[in-house]
Amino acid sequence: MTDTLDIKITKTSKSRLAETDFSNLVFGRTFSDHMLVADYSDGEWKNFEIVPYGEITVSPGISALHYGQSFFEGIKAYKHADGKVSIFRPDKNAQRFNKSAERLCMPTIPEDVFLQSLAAIVDVDRDWIPGAPGHSLYIRPFMFATDQYLGVAPSKTYKYIVLLCPVGPYFTKPLRVKIETHYTRSAEGGMGFAKSSGNYGGSMFPAKKATEEGFDQLIWTDAKEHKYIEEMGAANAMFVIDGTVVTPPALDTILDGVTRDTVIQLAHDFGVPVEERKVSVDELIETARNGKLNDAFGAGTAATIAPVGSIFANGEEYFLTAPENREFSQKVLKTLDAIRYGNAPDTHGWNYLVS
Ligand code: PLP
Ligand code: COI
């Protein structure tokens, strides 16, 4: 545990809070009044500051822009009925943040410094946390390389920034998903497990093609054979097959989701069996055909629990039971919401309270 983090706070002279329409939030379009910034140079993190949200100046020669030495995290803060504010499992994000950093030859941030930085910015903008059901404050910590250098080599200087966005649901209807069997998001030995910006840049072209075909999300398959399910564009893929929760193992090609881990823990709590194992496209099709695919959903911070309405594979579309009739994902969503909004005991210690 380091000492209390020294953060200089400069508040805005003109809050945008009053003019923000909290009933029409589009994910990621509305930013709160402030942001946290810090610099890395000479082998240490320094200059932690909370400043009014706004533009930053960087050199056009920074290696983040040229070579993608950049990654991010996604976390949510919730307002409880009694006014308390909590951040959901940020310790898991701190760990993944540092895994991403290591994979990209970037400096790590001590877990307690990361947690204190989140708590500090959320505290300053706590009035920006929406209170409506399904709403929260999305926290976007990210880091990028700032050396002005066009040689391909790890930068020696970096910037860490935390932005906040009040958000509603990321997906508003059951997802029409397409199983992608041509393009690849990541391969063994690659950086699929890291939340590196490049993973998302590379996914946009196949995702755009899928959107043009009328789909909401892709389900990626393995790079070698395109035979096994990996994950979705912005969430982990989870299924209930014949009463068992089944999800691909979080090895090095997929993101080790915090929501995925939470769902697995809740399944254990409910006494529902869980298998982390390979799921083939053929198995999905077969179980969708014979009625054994009880449930399918994306699990993610932005996505929360996003029901899959239909799956398109091998030229055919398979429709699932209406989300309201699915026992498992409905129960998970209800239980998760109750914990996050402080309406049920937090038996696993998932809520990190912002004092
Ligand atoms: N997979 C991808 C590609 C994602 O972008 C996300 C979202 O963060 C997830 C999975 C789910 O991870 P988490 O539950 O930690 O948000
Ligand atoms: C998240 O859930 O935090 C994500 O990263 C998804 C997306 C907005 C990229």
pLDDT of residue 2: 60
Q: How far apart are CA 99 and CA 257, in angstroms?
A: 13
Mapped onto helix, strand or coil, the DSSP state of residue 162 is strand
Q: Amino acid letter at 239?
A: F
Q: Which of 100, 138, 255 to mutate to test the pocket of ligand 1 (most atoms within 8 A of CB)?
A: 255
Q: What is the mean pLDDT of residues 55-63?
A: 96
Residue 82: pLDDT over 80: yes
What distance lies between CA 263 and its chain's CA centroid? 14
Residue 6: pLDDT over 60: yes
Residue 83: pLDDT over 60: yes
Q: How far is the CA of 235 from the centre of ligand 1 (A)?
A: 4
Class of domain 175-340: alpha beta
Mean pLDDT of the chain: 97
Tell me, using a 6 A CB cutoff, whether residue 235 lines ligand 1: yes
Confidence of residue 1 (pLDDT cuts 50, 70, 90): low
Confidence of residue 3 (pLDDT cuts 50, 70, 90): confident
Q: What is the mean pLDDT of residues 342-347?
A: 97
Q: Which of 142, 170, 193 to mutate to test the pocket of ligand 2 (most atoms within 8 A of CB)?
A: 170
Phi, psi of 200 (to 5 degrees): -80, -40
Q: Amino acid letter at 246?
A: V
Other residues' Cβ atoms within 10 Å of the Cβ of residue 57: 4
pLDDT in tens, 97-124: 999 999 999 999 999 999 999 999 999 9
Vertex 108 angle, CA 102 and 111, to 5°: 125
Confidence of residue 355 (pLDDT cuts 50, 70, 90): confident
Confidence of residue 127 (pLDDT cuts 50, 70, 90): very high
Q: From the CA of 140, which ligand is nearest?
A: 2
Q: What is the mean pLDDT of residues 136-163?
A: 98
Tell me, using a 6 A CB cutoff, whether residue 236 lines ligand 1: yes
Residue extent(s) of CATH 3.20.10.10 domains in the chain: 175-340
Q: From the CA of 169, which ligand is nearest?
A: 2
pLDDT in tens, 239-277: 999 999 999 999 999 999 999 999 999 999 999 999 999
Which 8-state DSSP code applies to residue 169? Answer: -
For ligand 2, what atom is nearest to the CA of residue 170? Answer: 8
As a whole-number percent, the residues of the chain with pLDDT over 70 amount to: 99
Q: Which of 170, 200, 301, 304 to mutate to test the pocket of ligand 2 (most atoms within 8 A of CB)?
A: 301
pLDDT of residue 337: 96
Give the H or E element holding residue 328.
helix 327-340
Cα radius of gyration (the chain): 21
Q: What is the mean pLDDT of residues 58-87?
A: 97
Q: Amino acid letter at 165?
A: C
Q: How far apart are CA 193 and CA 199, in angstroms?
A: 10
- What architecture (CATH level 2) is domain 8-168? 2-Layer Sandwich (3.30)
Token output for 180: 């992608």
Vertex 185 angle, CA 183 and 188, to 5°: 115
Token output for 197: 């910006």
For ligand 1, what atom is nearest to the CA of residue 199? Answer: 3
Tell me, using a 6 A CB cutoff, whether residue 259 lines ligand 1: yes
Residue 55: pLDDT over 70: yes
pLDDT in tens, 222-243: 999 999 999 999 999 999 999 9
Residue extent(s) of CATH 3.30.470.10 domains in the chain: 8-168
Q: How far is the CA of 2 from the centre of ligand 2 (A)?
A: 29
Which residue, by CA, sits nearest to atom 6 of ligand 2?
A: 234
